[in-house]
Amino acid sequence: MKAIWPKPDEDRLRPIFLLPKAERADVIALIPDGPPRQFRWRGKTHTIAFAQGPERIADEWWLSDATDLTRDYYCLENEAGQRFWLYREGLYGRETNAPHWFVHGFFA
């Protein structure tokens, strides 16, 4: 059964559980600035069945520190139906050549 996610023009989903501190994840994406195809977190590999995003969440440019990296968030669902909220920190080729990925929360 396919998951039901909001349409692009609807309000964005937010996770019901946020980690106290986002945790690093190892991600494989088909293209450098694309959504994850697979990620490894807490010793377990998750293969992605559905991805929505990116959603860029950032401070107003005039309030941002020049060293702040851009965050692009993705709603992901693995093959087991578990849903995660991950973000990529840093724009590939502009802010960094090696963006880092983090798990930030979970959906019901």
pLDDT tens string 64-107: 666 678 899 999 999 999 999 999 998 777 777 788 999 999 99
Each domain of the chain, given as residue ranges in start order, spans 20-106
Task: Give tens-digit pLDDT for 9-36.
Answer: 556 678 999 999 999 999 999 998 899 9
Structure tokens at 42: 């807490």
> What pLDDT sits at residue 26?
98
The C-alpha atoms of residue 91 and residue 72 are separated, in whole angstroms, by: 8
The C-alpha atoms of residue 100 and residue 69 are separated, in whole angstroms, by: 10
